[in-house]
Amino acid sequence: MRRKIIIDTDPGQDDAVAILLALASDELELLGITCVAGNVPLSLTAKNARIVCELANRPEIRVFAGCNAPIKRKLVTAEHVHGKTGLDGITLPDPAMPLQDQHAVDFLIETLMREPSGTVTLCPIGPLTNIATAMQRAPEIISRIEQIVLMGGAYFEVGNITPTAEFNIYVDPEAAKIVFDSGAPLVVMPLDVTHKALTTRARVETFRAMPGKVGPAVASWTDFFERFDKEKYGSEGAPLHDPCTIAYLIKPELFSGREINVEIETGSELTLGMTVADWWRVTKRPANALFIGDIDAEGFFALLAERIARL
């Protein structure tokens, strides 16, 4: 039985790799891709998601545009990381496949109300605006969500957009608070684990050497995408943040973490968007998330290479 998922995304090169991994994996049935403003504005994330589907020769995938700004704040984007297009690194043709007319939030609600309860997993890999808006508009969907496996937050690794906040949470902290307080089963892939999923020259060359267009595109994207992290962290390569969520669905044994309480800072301008993870359980606050701290990086890249080569 294939696992039904919806990817909510703001492509972004690492989002693109996550989408490709899902499309290459028969364990998963991708019901749709919902796009949100984040790395770049919504018009570009909705375009980029279709570019990725066509690169994988899957023009039948349904792509929906969602919220074009955070719930109550001005949009902050990350062209400094992903480039002006959001998919800098290689020029790919504009998409021919259509965007669905239905709003992404309506698609999320309709799908969760239609599919049997507990059979749809959400994989948010951008700001949580679409997910939170759906929960606010139709709270009855919360108990019907099988699991939310999201990329976002940081604890030991601290922030990548401010000293204390990770980008996806920082862009829409009110949305993140709604999702983290919702009671839906959460698996969180913070920078603590994604910064251990670093590309290396050898790994990138493995993608570049693959036959066809997909592997070389992944190599070109990571060549571009890794500049930011190499400059800032002096790391050898780029953290493939978003694919960690999809890899978890396919091979959860590659990851380890703790069921702990995670709260979102929405009041302080200084620490806005911080995921306050009670890793040492010093409070009595109830656990609301499986907070992932470690990854078998070799196993992760072996899975990624094996799957991408299928496309």
User: Annotated catalytic sites, by residue?
Assistant: 241
* Footprint on residues 234-273 left by Ca ion (CB under 5 A): 242
When asked if residue 12 is in the footprint of ligand RIB (CB under 6 A), the reply is: yes
When asked if residue 126 is in the footprint of ligand RIB (CB under 6 A), the reply is: yes
Closer CB to Ca ion, residue 15 or residue 166? Answer: 15
Q: CA separation (Å) from 223 to 45, 61, 195, 311?
A: 20, 27, 16, 20
DSSP secondary-structure letter at 239? B
Question: Contact region for Ca ion (CB under 5 A) — 70-78, 117-125, 212-220, 231-239?
Answer: 117-125
Residues 6+ apart with CB under 8 A from 311: 20, 23, 24, 56, 57, 212, 214
Q: What is the DSSP string of 108-155?
A: HHHHHHHSPTT-EEEEE-S-SHHHHHHHHH-GGGGGGEEEEEEE---S
Minimum separation from the CB atom of position 161 to ligand RIB (A) = 7
Closer CB to ligand RIB, residue 7 or residue 125? Answer: 125
Q: Which of 50, 177, 241, 307 binds ligand RIB (CB under 6 A)?
A: 241
When asked if residue 12 is in the footprint of Ca ion (CB under 5 A), the reply is: yes
Minimum separation from the CB atom of position 41 to ligand RIB (A) = 13
Q: Which of 66, 83, 126, 152 binds Ca ion (CB under 5 A)?
A: 126
When asked if residue 223 is in the footprint of ligand RIB (CB under 6 A), the reply is: no
When asked if residue 15 is in the footprint of Ca ion (CB under 5 A), the reply is: yes
- List % helix, strand, coil for the chain (3-state, nearest 5): 40, 20, 45
Q: Residue 160 binds what, of ligand RIB, Ca ion, none (CB under 5 to 8 Å, by partner type)?
A: ligand RIB
Backbone angles phi, psi at 52, to 5 degrees: -65, -45
Minimum separation from the CB atom of position 113 to ligand RIB (A) = 27
Burial of residue 269 (number of CB atoms within 10 Å: 0-12, 13-18, 19+): exposed
Q: How many residues bind Ca ion (CB under 5 A)?
A: 6
Q: Residue 173 binds what, of Ca ion, ligand RIB, none (CB under 5 to 8 Å, by partner type)?
A: none
Residues 6+ apart with CB under 8 A from 192: 154, 155, 156, 157, 291, 292, 293
Minimum separation from the CB atom of position 140 to ligand RIB (A) = 28
Question: Contact region for ligand RIB (CB under 6 A) — 12-20, 25-33, 247-255, 274-282?
Answer: 12-20
Number of Cα atoms under 13 Å in the Cβ half of residue 163: 3
Residues paired with 295 in a beta bridge: 255
* Footprint on residues 160-189 left by ligand RIB (CB under 6 A): 160, 166-168
Answer yes or no: are the C-beta atoms of 127 and 159 closer than 8 Å: no
Binding residues for ligand RIB, per CB under 6 A? Answer: 10, 12, 14-15, 38-39, 125-126, 151, 160, 166-168, 241-242
